[in-house]
């Protein structure tokens, strides 16, 4: 684990050597703390059989520590100005491939097939703040074999992903993530541990993708439509927010809520994922009958 890059002085030495200019709009805040890097690595727990995709390697600080333990690391970086830097900082590691692409446009399945022979992989990253949620949802919703997602994200986003029903942070993102994963807070990271310093604090969160479905939904699309409607109008009762979906009238929605044993005056933020699943299955059954 020699040649660590994660001190302020080492990072600035590399940045100056290459005349690199930080681009704020790309969320370029580089981590400068060994302890946090170690916590991310521990949360990902890469073994010699593990494949890893890292999004946004920056100058390769986390990449080096992952590669020294994992079987293979593919680092996807959008900024072409970082590529010559990575060529140098990762030059002694044979199990790393750097791909110069935008993660939102990259074909993740093709990358996993090409570099990992289609084997499962873990996503590990200090994500760029401006697209944390779309990146995570891409990996969860596409047909790719990701087993663990261990990522640094803005504190508030991590709190939403980790929130339980009834809590103020509980929302559509909590349901979307917890539908697929068990969540675990790995570390809290204050803003002064990055260069340049961002305006927000961060959290490292681990999302453990369940191999089997925990929530049995007959119609996943309808489940998420209901969740969206229920959280879209937070102040409305479920009776009203589900009626405004425009699929069934108030009387029918009232019957479905009763059948699902959900009090019609409750609001979306109080329902557990189990309750949403029951509700969605009842509505799906009813739609099949009409
Ligand atoms: N991993 C480094 C670290 O921990 O110090 C850098 C993390 S920095 C928060 C985010 C990185 O993501 C930057 O290197 C940035 O250029 C890269 N990035 C931003 N948008 C991206 C995108 N759409 N696709 C791939 N990489 C992106």
Per residue in 200-245, pLDDT (tens digit) is 999 999 999 999 999 999 999 999 999 999 999 878 999 999 999 9
Per-residue pLDDT at 2: 57
- Which tens digits make up the pLDDT trace of 111-144? 999 999 999 999 999 999 999 999 999 999 999 9
Probe target for ligand 1 pocket from 56, 189, 199, with the most ligand atoms within 8 Å of CB? 56
Q: Which CATH class is domain 8-209?
A: alpha beta
Q: Does 26 sit in the ligand 1 pocket, CB within 6 Å?
A: yes
d(CA 165, CA 264): 17
Instruction: Give the residues across from 96 on adjacent strands.
Output: 73
- Please indicate whether residue 62, judged by its CB atom, sits closer than 6 Å to ligand 1: yes
Low-confidence ranges of the chain (pLDDT < 70): 1-2
- Read off the pTM: 0.96
Q: Is the CB of 28 under 6 A from ligand 1?
A: yes
The first and second tokens of residue 56, run together, are 């946004």
**Residue-wise DSSP of the chain:** --S---SHHHHHHHHHHTT----GGGT--EE--HHHHHHHHHHH---TT-EEEEE--TTTHHHHHHHTTSSEEEEE---GGGHHHHHHHTTT-TTEEEE-S-TTTS-HHHHHHHHHTT--EEEEEE--GGGHHHHHHHHHHSS--EEEEEEEEEHHHHHHHHPPTTSTT-SHHHHHHHHHEEEEEEEEE-GGGEES--SS-EEEEEEEE-SS-SS--S-HHHHHHHHHHHHHTTTS-HHHHHHTTSSS-HHHHHHHHHHTT--TT--GGG--HHHHHHHHHHHHHHHHH-
Q: Where are the domains of the chain?
A: 8-209, 220-289
Ligand 1 neighbourhood includes 78 CB (under 6 angstroms): yes
The residue nearest atom 23 of ligand 1, judged by CA position, is 102
Judge: domain 220-289, CATH 1.10.8.100.
yes
Atom of ligand 1 nearest to the CA of 23: 16
pLDDT value at residue 235: 86
Q: Which two tokens stand for residue 164?
A: 């339980």
- The pLDDT assigned to 1 comes to 43
């Amino acid at each position: 684990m020699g040649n660590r890059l994660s001190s302020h002085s080492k990072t600035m030495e590399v940045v100056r050597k290459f005349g690199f200019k930080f681009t704020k709009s790309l969320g370029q805040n580089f981590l400068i703390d060994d302890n946090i890097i170690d916590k991310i690595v521990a949360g990902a727990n890469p073994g010699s059989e593990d494949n890893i995709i890292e999004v946004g390697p920056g100058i390769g600080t986390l990449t080096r520590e992952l590669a020294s333990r994992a079987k293979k690391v593919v680092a996807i970086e959008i900024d072409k100005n970082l590529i010559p830097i990575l060529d140098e900082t990762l030059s002694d590691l044979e199990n790393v491939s750097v791909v110069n692409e935008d993660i939102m446009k990259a074909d993740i399945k093709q990358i996993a097939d090409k570099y990992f022979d289609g084997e499962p992989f873990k996503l590990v990253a200090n994500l760029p703040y401006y697209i944390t949620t779309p990146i995570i949802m891409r990996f969860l919703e596409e047909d790719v074999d990701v087993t663990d997602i261990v990522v640094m994200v803005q504190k508030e986003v991590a709190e939403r992903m980790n929130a339980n029903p009834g809590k103020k942070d509980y929302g559509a993102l909590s349901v979307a993530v917890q539908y697929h994963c068990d969540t675990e807070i790995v570390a809290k990271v204050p803003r002064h541990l990055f260069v340049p310093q961002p305006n927000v604090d961060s959290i490292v969160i681990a999302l453990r993708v369940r191999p089997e479905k925990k929530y049995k939904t007959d119609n996943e699309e309808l489940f998420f439509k209901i969740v969206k409607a229920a959280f879209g109008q937070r102040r409305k009762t479920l009776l009203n927010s589900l009626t405004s979906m425009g699929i069934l009238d108030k009387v029918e929605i009232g019957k479905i809520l009763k059948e699902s044993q959900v009090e019609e005056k409750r609001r979306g933020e109080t329902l557990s994922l189990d309750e949403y699943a029951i509700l969605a299955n009842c509505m799906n059954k009813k739609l099949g009958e009409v």
